[in-house]
Structure 1
Amino acid sequence: MVMEQYYYFHPVMTLLFCFVSFLAISFLVLFYRHRSQFTGNNLPPGNIGYPVIGESYEFVSSAWKGHPEKFISDRVNKHSSQVFKTSVIGERTAFFCGAACNKFLFSKENKLVEVWFSSSVNKIFRSSTGTSAAEDAHKTRKMLPIFLKLDSMQRYFGTINQCTRSHFADGWETKSEVHAVELVKTYTFKVAARLFVSLEDQTHIDKLSKLFRAVNTGTISIPIDFPGTLFNKAIKAANLIRNDLYKMIKQRKVDLAEGKASGTQDMLSHMLLTCDEDGTFMKESDIADKILGMLVAGFDTLSAALTFIVKYLGELPHINDAVYKEQMEIVNSKAPGEPLKWEDLQKMKYSWNVAQEVLRMAPPVQGNFREAITDFVFDGFTIPKGWKLYWSPNSTHKSADCFPEPEKFDPSRFEGRGPAPYTFTPFGGGPRMCPGNEYARVVTLVFMHHLVTRFKWEKVFPEEQTIVAPFPTPRKGLPIRLYPHQK
């Protein structure tokens, strides 16, 4: 009987042994193939992790724990190098850390490196012209500075101020406790919708806002295009937004022809009436793609910055009091009912120092990828063509070499000449410096003015944790208790 059982199970055991052996051999092949991709002369030091996943888990988990800089600092300390190799999101990657690395990358844009987006981003932000997200971004950047330059921001200042006043009246002043993250996101999208496409209908704004949130959530999800997944929902939401934008564009062309719309009223009119160097005007579908990308790019980044201004001012009463004093000097210099004016921004020097220190402590953009377009050597290390390069503001913002006592909130860092070059990079640098930095400065200062002159506040959860996914955000949505100032 025992012998019969032995011979009965023997084929099964043989198959199982063969299957396990196959898995082991496959893993070894993957492992050695993975390692072979990182061999070569003078490559930077570093760990490459496991096949396929590399060190992606460590990279993402440090951000989820609220300390994305730890992934960088641990490896810089371990390898005693400002450049190290790793494998993240399935790509051979060299991390460039520190001011010297920032200077190199920013100065070599489109010479040795170029911006790189993952295939998942290209799929969500597909272009009607068949170009990649990187090519679309390059075209958009050439057009944005004209619309977002200082004199243009001055033209739209009244609109920004009016939007901010109405937002606080509708969303903050009627409540004693609010979730700051939610209200800040509502505010930033409302302002962008007004300036980019002159959208004022709140129902329409709310509808688009939900779609944009689906796009943003799906962009950072696992890129599985299957019905019901976050990635699939993001693709569908992006298509719905495009269709909505097509309708706005067609109507605007009619309004411009009939004199019912102005050529300078918003970004949409600007795009319709601006041609490239060859005298060619953008197609409607191309304009829709560009506006979609701009709204997504500015939505979460500015929201994150304003959220952390609320957070730090709520935690640091002495900083809040100093900002309040500066802003009330502006209020008291005006006649009753006189609105905030463009010239008032120049009087908000301390407030802007505070905002910059917030951007240092919690930069909205945690980093960006570049791709080496040719082999090159930096700091004695060879970077092969096709490798991805990652830079992060945190490599300098959280470095004691660049900012003494980096965990201390100190707006005085920005007095006088301010930080050393290439150490403070919340807007990037070089040819790819964020073209919306002036827009962000104006909206931030107007927001701070209306916030601190109306309220004091305190956090409901004093020890609320911050996560980064991929933008920094308080885990519980930053609920705060509001205490309105007496009129």
Structure 2
Amino acid sequence: MSKHSPEIFQTSLVGERMATFCGAKGNKLLFTNENKLLTSWLPQSMKKVLMFAEKMESNMDLDFTFKRILTRDVFSPEALRSYVPAMDALARDHMARDWKPNSVVKVLPLSKKYTFELACRLFLSEVDPRRVKKLSEPFAEVTKGILSVPVDLPGTAYRRAIRAGEEVREELMRMVEERKKETNGGEGKAPDFLSKILMVRDGDGEFLNEKEICNRIVGMLVASYDTTSSAITGVMNHLAQLPHIYNEVFKEHMAIAQSKGPGELLTWDDIEKMNYSWNVVRESLRLTPPAVGSFREATTDFTYAGFSIPKGWKTFWTVYSTHKNPDCFPELERFDPSRFEGSGPAPYTFVPFGGGPRMCPGKEYARLEVLVMMHNVVTRFKLEKTIPDEKIVYHATPTPVHGLPLLLHPHRK
């Protein structure tokens, strides 16, 4: 940015010429011109890990259909309301099973375990722990290697990710075939994501084949697994580091807990009372965003800030060009939840979920998931970092090198 332009510069990423857009204006242009100047794009190396090769090309009509399923069914207001008690029940199980028996826990692997089990339960109606484990173990290898150097040789992270991706798809194929037999072409036993996409037809009026369905499920699991567990880990890291923030969050959640009857699960109305906690989450997402940005492809020649972007060029935007910009967020390294009070940051500056037509459709789902986990942790424990200066490295998401081990101090009853 300092060498070329604070608005746009050219580089090379994943073997492609890349126009990198910077700042709020660049974000706005990319977010508001989907299917006009730009279209979604993934590097071939990522597709090779995630998808069946013969079904990797995007289909705009199907993409629109799936987005409609997500917004109208899977992430509709009614569905989201129903998810809150299910999230809370599973979080309580995880507290009893994986947190309470231990004095020290590693937050990142436990968060991944929770988010993956929840996604399997809500989107696939899969509750068998053995089946979930059969999916989650190779899935962890997929996310570790998906953005590694794409060298397909034995011993590399990329080769392990490819092999793990094959295992995931094989298991999903079995699940899809089983569900098809159960439904016999009708609506499934549960109104979940899988049952909805089984009813989707292509442009010729044919039901989608199993491979296309698996590709869509993999995309759904990737989106609901790695980024959300990273968000939870980032929040717990900040709560452990900043006692004054933790204390305010604790007060808010204890007031909610004390308003509930014995064993009563959280509801949507309880989530709506977590205003300060959500500001804390957003400030954590600003400082440690789970996704650093995303790619697009230019569908026509256009100019921006005096530069020409030819058709076929790839583009990239990154959260850091605004999240870590002092013009957008003064005292940018200071953790300050009050930035999000009132009207909050200027448009297109706070973009952990993207924006425009391509804004993450699971944004509200992620909000519920993180807040429910916060509630279950802070009402049970005070947190202390065992490695105060633990480093964070970047794989697909920000990753504490030791998994964020925290010492748990249970509250006295």
Tell me if both proteins adopt one fold, taking TM over 0.5 as the criterion: yes
SS state of the match for residue 87, structure 1? strand
SS state of the match for residue 262, structure 2? coil
2:117 maps to which of 175, 179, 190: 190
SS state of the match for residue 388, structure 2? coil
Which deviates the most, 327-336 or 242-251?
A: 242-251
8 Å contact 1:178–1:481 — kept in the other structure? yes
8 Å contact 2:185–2:199 — kept in the other structure? no
SS state of the match for residue 257, structure 2? helix
CA positional deviation for 1:357: 0.7
Partner residue of 1:368?
Answer: 294
CA positional deviation for 1:331: 1.0
- 2:42 corresponds to 1:112: no
Within 2, Cα distance between the matches of 1:481 and 1:130?
Answer: 46
Residues 277 and 118 of structure 1: CA distance in aligned 2, closer, same or farther (over 3 Å) = closer
Letter paired with 2:165: A
Q: Percent of counterpart pairs with the same letter?
A: 48
CA positional deviation for 1:116: 1.8
Which deviates the most, 81-90 or 453-462?
A: 81-90
Partner residue of 1:36?
Answer: none
Partner residue of 1:121?
Answer: 46
8 Å contact 1:177–1:480 — kept in the other structure? yes
Letter paired with 1:188: T
CA positional deviation for 1:232: 2.6
SS state of the match for residue 144, structure 1? helix
Residues 254 and 134 of structure 1: CA distance in aligned 2, closer, same or farther (over 3 Å) = closer
CA positional deviation for 1:204: 2.3
Letter paired with 2:260: K
CA positional deviation for 1:133: 5.8
Within 2, Cα distance between the matches of 1:467 and 1:258?
Answer: 46
- 2:262 corresponds to 1:339: no
Residues 311 and 274 of structure 1: CA distance in aligned 2, closer, same or farther (over 3 Å) = same
- 2:384 corresponds to 1:466: no
8 Å contact 1:274–1:281 — kept in the other structure? yes
Within 1, Cα distance between the matches of 2:16 and 2:278?
Answer: 38
Q: What residue ranges of structure 1 are gaps of 5+ in the alignment?
A: 1-75
8 Å contact 1:314–1:320 — kept in the other structure? yes
- 2:17 corresponds to 1:82: no
8 Å contact 1:272–1:281 — kept in the other structure? yes
Q: Highest relative contact order (Cα 8 Å, sep 6+), 1 or 2? A: 2
Within 2, Cα distance between the matches of 1:194 and 1:331?
Answer: 25
8 Å contact 1:224–1:232 — kept in the other structure? yes
- 2:334 corresponds to 1:408: yes
8 Å contact 1:128–1:285 — kept in the other structure? no
Partner residue of 2:242?
Answer: 316
Corresponding pairs, count: 411
Within 2, Cα distance between the matches of 1:186 and 1:435?
Answer: 22
Partner residue of 1:281?
Answer: 207
Within 1, Cα distance between the matches of 2:117 and 2:180?
Answer: 23
Within 1, Cα distance between the matches of 2:286 and 2:383?
Answer: 23
Q: What residue ranges of structure 2 are gaps of 5+ in the alignment?
A: none
Within 2, Cα distance between the matches of 1:419 and 1:91?
Answer: 33
1:480 maps to which of 382, 393, 406: 406
* CA deviations over 1:34-63 (Å, ceiling 9, x no partner): xxxxxxxxxxxxxxxxxxxxxxxxxxxxxx
2:55 maps to which of 126, 130, 133: 130
The normalised TM-score by structure 2 is: 0.93
In angstroms, what is the RMSD of aligned CA positions?
A: 2.2
SS state of the match for residue 473, structure 1? strand
CA positional deviation for 1:153: 1.3
8 Å contact 2:81–2:267 — kept in the other structure? no
Partner residue of 2:168?
Answer: 241
8 Å contact 2:25–2:348 — kept in the other structure? yes
Within 1, Cα distance between the matches of 2:187 and 2:340?
Answer: 45
Within 1, Cα distance between the matches of 2:263 and 2:92?
Answer: 12
Within 2, Cα distance between the matches of 1:79 and 1:393?
Answer: 19
The normalised TM-score by structure 1 is: 0.80
- 2:99 corresponds to 1:144: no
